[in-house]
Amino acid sequence: MATRLPQGAFGWTRWLGAIWTLVRTDFKVRYHGTVGGFVWALLKPLSMFIVLMGIFSYVFASSRDYTLNLVVGLFLWDFFAESTRVGIISLHSKAFLIAKTRFPRWIVVATAVASPLVTLAVFSAAVVLVLFLLGRGPSLAALALYGVYLLCYVLIVLGISLAGSVLFLRYRDLNQVWEVVIQGGFFLAPIIYPLTILPEKVHFYLFLWPPTPVVHFTRMVLIQGVAPTAKGHGLLLLMTFSIVAIGALVFWRLAPSAAEKL
C-alpha cells in the first residue's frame, strides 16, 4: 500500500531535499563498483571524438576550428542523447519508489538527467579553460549567452523527458523508437560537419531539431566570437517554451495514473 505523506510535506524545502537525495543516490548507483567512476561518463564522448577526428579531419582540413567545433558538438550531443534516454525510462526504473511513496512524480524525471548534466558542466568548464589557454577566451557576454543556451537545452530535455516518461509506461516500444530517432538525429544536427556547407534553404528545417540551434549558437559565441541574430534567439526560445509546455501538459494529464501502468 502506498504511503501518504503528511499534507504540505512537499513544500519547496522538502522538494529540494528530495531532489538532492535522488540525485545523490542515482549518481552513486550509476558508478558503484566501477574503477573509473565518473571518468567513464567522459570517456564515451572522448572516444567518439578521437574516432571522428581521425576520419573527418581530412575531409574538413580547410576548417581551422574543426577540432574545437567537433568537441563542442559531440559533448552537447552526448548530453541530449543520454539525458533523454534515461529521462524517458525514469518513471519505469523508479517503479519501486513510485509504488510505495506519494510525492510529485516530476521530481523523478528531473533528477534522472542530473548525471548527464554534471558531465556537461565539467565539459563546459574544460572547454572555456582551453579557450583561455589558447588565448581565445570568450567574453562575459559570450559566456552569458552560452549559459542561456544551456538553460534552454536542459529545459528542452526536461520537456521531452516529461512527456516520454509517462508515454513509455503506456507504449513500451517508445524507448526503441527514440533510439532510432537519436541515431538519425546525430547526422541531422551539425555535429561532424559545419552547417555552412549545406544550402541556406534547408537550414530552417535542420533548426527544427532541438540540438541544431544549441550546437550552432554555442559554436558561434564561444569559438567564432559572434552573436546569433535576434530572430535566431527568438526561434530557440519559442522552441524551448513549446517543448516544455507540451511535455508538461502530457505529463500533467497522464502522471496521475502512472502507478497503475507500472
Q: Measured between alpha carbons, how far is 93 from 138 in angstroms, rounded to an integer?
A: 40
Q: Of all helices (H) and strands (E), which one includes residue 226?
A: none
pLDDT tens per residue across span 240-254: 999 999 999 999 998
| pLDDT score of 58 | 54
Mean pLDDT along residues 174-178: 91
In percent, how much of the chain has pLDDT > 70? Answer: 71
What would the grid cell of residue 121 be? 558542466
The DSSP secondary-structure symbol of 3 reads: B
pLDDT over 80 (residue 259): no
pLDDT tens per residue across span 132-156: 988 888 999 999 999 999 999 999 9
Q: Measured between alpha carbons, how far is 224 from 65 in angstroms, rounded to an integer?
A: 9
Closest by alpha carbon to 254, among 152, 146, 105?
A: 105
Mean pLDDT over all residues of the chain? 80
DSSP 50-102: HHHHHHHTTTTTT-TTHHHHHHHHHHHHHHHHHHHHHHHTHHHHTHHHHHHB-
Mean pLDDT along residues 103-112: 80
pLDDT tens per residue across span 78-100: 899 999 999 999 888 777 666 66
pTM of the model: 0.79
| pLDDT score of 93 | 78
| pLDDT score of 210 | 94
| pLDDT score of 42 | 61
In percent, how much of the chain has pLDDT > 90? Answer: 37
| pLDDT score of 8 | 46
Kindly report the backbone phi and psi dihedral angles of residue 3, in degrees, each rounded to the nearest multiple of 5, phi listed first. Answer: -95, 125
Lowest mean pLDDT among 54-68, 144-158, 200-214: 54-68
User: What sections of 105-210 are H helices per DSSP?
Assistant: 106-112, 114-133, 140-170, 174-188, 203-206
pLDDT over 60 (residue 127): yes
Q: Which band of pLDDT confidence, cut at 50, 70 and 90, is reported for residue 55?
A: low
Q: Which band of pLDDT confidence, cut at 50, 70 and 90, is reported for residue 45?
A: low
Q: Measured between alpha carbons, how far is 81 from 161 in angstroms, rounded to an integer?
A: 11
| pLDDT score of 21 | 61
pLDDT tens per residue across span 220-230: 999 999 999 99
∠ at Cα 251 (166, 236), nearest 5°? Answer: 110
Q: Which band of pLDDT confidence, cut at 50, 70 and 90, is reported for residue 1?
A: very low
**Higher local confidence (pLDDT), 165 or 45:** 165
Coil, helix or strand at residue 145: helix
